[in-house]
Each structure stands twice: as structure tokens, then as C-alpha cells.
Amino acid sequence: MLTLFLLTQTNAQNIPLYLLFRIQYFLLCKRPPFALSHSFLKQMNASLTIPALLPLRPSQTTLTTLLLSQTSFFALGLNNSISSIDLSNAYNGVSGYNILAVGLLVFLSNWAGPVYWSVAGVCLLGGYGQSSASDASSNTSAAAAKPKRSWVEAEHAHLHDLAKAKVQVEDKRPEKDVWTSHVALLTLFTGVMLASVMAACTALRTHLFIWTVFSPKYLFAMAWGVAWHLGVTIALGGLVRWMGTW
């Protein structure tokens, strides 16, 4: 639903880029190939899980989606100039002038790519370790269904469980603090970015192009720090996490 909404807030010439975004997302995720809604079909999830072609750890997933968020902003034809702000989709569904609604639509239409990858990053982190858990459960059920023929097989199964214990702990441990690490890394990036921009604007406050180059960059940095990081990464990402993605 979010993807469909972002498509309505995007210029027509940029819509094919979301197909590329979708392909990149499926290359990174570990999910069943299609949704299973019926209870008797959900039992087949373990056998239908597709491994990721580009498996990433949680920190690698955060950095990857961060880079994709930044590159998608410029790939959609935007830059750090006030003249690049698109107002053509600012009044979609708005009958009259409403500063809050228009401002929100302006942000979403211009930051549609970063918003997409921010939510995609939360979904990718939510699916971390699911395939390992499903594989472990399927192996356990298969081992339970298979009759034990001798004490050798029983000992082999016991050693196999001991060998997998460490792997399962490593898969389950990041699920508790993966959201904290995700937000911490993005906050660190945003803080360094804001500090660098403010230091540059302070050092070049007497420059000839302060109002044409550095001031717009400072405004865009505020939009990245306040609207994107606080509003999208933390608020919207936290809402997606709370709604059951994890």
C-alpha cells in the first residue's frame, strides 16, 4: 500500500525506477515467493522459503538501505537546490490549501525514494533469521518423524543439535537489539551529516554564494534530519515494526 501511494506521488517518468527498487528488495529479502493466507497452506512456509541472493547481516542491511535511500533521492532527479523541489503532486486529494497536508505531500513526493527504502530496511531487518528458524523447525520435525534405528543415530542427532546451538543463538540474539542498532547507525550518520553541514555554513558564512548554495543545502539537511530521520526512520519505521512486521 505504501508503494502504491508513493507511485501516486511520483512523476510518471520516474515510476519505472520502482520496478528496479522492487527487484533490489527481493534480491535482499528472505521470504516465501507468495503470501499464504490459509492455515493448511501456512505449513508449507518452511519448504517455500527462498534464500536471499545477497545475504546480509543486520548492520550490513542498515548500511545498504541507507546508501540506497541516498542514491534513490538523486536517481529520481532531485538535488540540493530549491528549484528542484517538485510541487506538481502537492495537492493530490487536497481540495483547498492546507499547510500541513500540502507540506506532507511535498515531502513525500520529493523524498519518495528514501521513504521507500527506509520502510524496506525495516522489513528486511524484520525478516532476519526467519529462514534459519524455519529450516531448524523443519529439520527438527523431520528428525522427530524419522524413527531412531540405533543409538548411533541418536548420538549423531545430539551432536548435530549441539553444533547448531551456537548458530541459533547468533540468529536469535540480534532480533532483540537489531532495531536499536538500526536506529543508532542511522542517527550517527544523520548527526555527522548535520554537524558537517553546519560547520561548513559557519565557516563560509561570509562567502558570496552563502544564500544560493550553502543556505539551500542547510535547508535540505534540516529536511533530512527532521522529516526523514525523525519522521520516517524512527516514527514510521517504529510503527511498521510495532504493527507486526517483526
Q: Per-residue pLDDT tens, the chain, 246 aa: give them.
A: 888 899 988 888 889 999 999 999 988 876 544 444 445 444 544 444 556 667 788 888 999 999 999 999 999 988 888 888 888 888 888 887 888 989 899 999 999 999 999 999 998 887 654 444 444 444 444 444 445 456 667 766 766 676 665 545 444 544 558 888 999 999 999 999 999 998 988 888 888 888 877 888 888 999 999 999 999 999 999 998 888 655
Q: Which residues of 15-34 are buried (b: 16+ CB within 10 A; e: fewer)?
A: eebbeebeebbeebbbbbee
Cβ-in-10-Å burial (0-12, 13-18, 19+) of 52 comes to middle
Looking at this protein, which amino acid is placed at residue 73? F
- Quote the radius of gyration of the chain (alpha carbons, Å): 23
123 is written with which cell numbers?
A: 522489513
pTM score, whole prediction: 0.72
Q: Where are the domains of the chain?
A: 2-128+174-245
Tell the residue number behind the cell numbers 523524498, with chain if given. Answer: 111
